[in-house]
Structure 1
Amino acid sequence: MSLVSADPDVEPTDPPGAALLGPAQVRELADRLGIRPTKHWGQNFVIDKGTVRRIVRAAGVGPEDVVLEVGPGLGSLTLALLPQVRHVTALEIDPALATQLPRTVTDLAPDLADRLTVRHTDALRVTELPDPPPTALVANLPYNVAVPVVLHLLATVPTLRTVLVMVQLEVAERLAARPGSKAYGVPSVKAAWYADVTGAGRIGRQVFWPAPNVDSGLVRMVRREPPASVATREQVFAVVDAAFAQRRKTLRAALAGWAGSAAQAEAHLLAAGVDPRARGEVLTVADFTRIADAAAGQDAGAEG
């Protein structure tokens, strides 16, 4: 059954070459496939055409971009992306959705079907991707795995230059938080290692089916070089994890387990130019990097 005839309300603003999915089509597709959105995979399907257009605009992608989309679901965002970019590689963990997505694109955007690659896989297990290499991550991410997915892909796909993701509003605020704010924490620091991170707007609940219990937020990231460091990323992130595991404690106390003792933690902090009485929530990613560098330098000196 073709979906083309099932879309009598294609809007004049739909991208050329693609008819976007509206609420009726999303439910029709789900019914045909026997799919009911599951909490296990964090499925909330976008049913609003205006929202997917807004995401594509906020992403700032163009004809030379290769987009990596995680959790494309029934294809709402995919169909909005395809006319604007060179290629879309979609990672879908649900086998029924992964099988259906190429068929949906063939029905609604036949001239663009060759721009789509679908992989049935868990994004958290991806270590390499087929050519062409992705330049942008654009996705409506499942709430329960949003932060791990973003950090994993930034770490494993070095060609990603930009990120635009829709996530739970609280997660969006944490990712984009600045030092000293209540929302600032481990996700904020680790995202800042890879990119400049900013909030890109709020999304209401009624654009989804089923409607979640919370609002969503858009987060934009622009890749940049991480802070110069003799320590590895893993060593820096170990300091971050330790500092926020007991965020009410001073860094001298919070980092005692990581350093081996409170006295050793204080030595590393002073060598890094960080007040041992401070708390992790006021430090920048560069501050955490200097602490890790101080420890790495002292360890190297001890070995020598």
Structure 2
Amino acid sequence: MNRLDVVTFGEAMTLFIAEKAGPLHKIESFTRELAGAETNVAIGLARLGFKSGWASKVGSDAFGKFIMNRLARENVNVEHVFTDERFPTGFQIKSKVVTGDPEVQYFRKGSAASFMGAKDFHEEYFSGARHLHMTGIPLAISEHTRDFAQTALSYMKELGRTVSFDPNLRPTLWSSKQEMIEVINQFAMKADYFLPGISEGEILTGYKSPRDIASFYLDKGVELVVIKLGEEGAYYKNSSEEGLVNPYEVKEVVDTVGAGDGFAVGVISGLLENLQIKESVLRGNAIGSMAVQFPGDNDGYPNRDQLMEFMKLPIQGVN
């Protein structure tokens, strides 16, 4: 019997968001939040009633304690999160913007999470989950975290569990663009569900159209490809069907960070509930649309009642 619906892993950081717009070096007051692509997904799924777990390492410092307390409050299982006395917990600072993407600065080199390697992998914890969600970030952080990712992916595939993979490209973390493309694609081709953004798909495959990008991965054995198209919604394709799912109308975009992770929450939750692919992608669009209306990375992620209410709102191009 599975103890968890979904398990994920990676690095979480304490996030300081500027309270006023302007260059970061001129800001005096910040609000503290939690940041991390994988923790975003774990939190989003937990709010929808799924049993989610997150594996990682944190330092024995205030940032590490904050992360653990916040995840516990969100009902995310942290039994596979270990405290490393030798290394600190990473953190980041983010600007407040009126329009566009915020400026983000990271302080994560040599963090406790970057030293989580294959020897830290606990089979019993992962075998208790029916689905694994991964991002490309741990593949870039260090050789340790890449080894952990390879171990987790191989183990869950051996058990016959489904795997979703969001590339979450972070070029500055890689030694070269070519290495990033090669390594990300190695992992993507072993996933069941691949969830890139359109610009990520172009970088990883060289193709520009969503259909060609999707076909590239389907030909390599991926079961389903869902491509985020931003304001145009999302495109999906598997071996038997494809489609474009229009986005929800958003009156004001406050912050785009975390929208992609929210989209993953919607798609994964729908597939785990055996919804049709189109319905799952529509749910992804809904949570992504909710996320961009809040400043924190996961502030806008809904509980189930809030999601159902939001999904009654108009969809662009649909009367």
TM value normalised by structure 2: 0.31
Q: Rg bigger for which structure?
A: 1
| Structure with a larger share of its residues in strand | 2
Relative to its length, the structure with more helix (as a share) is 1
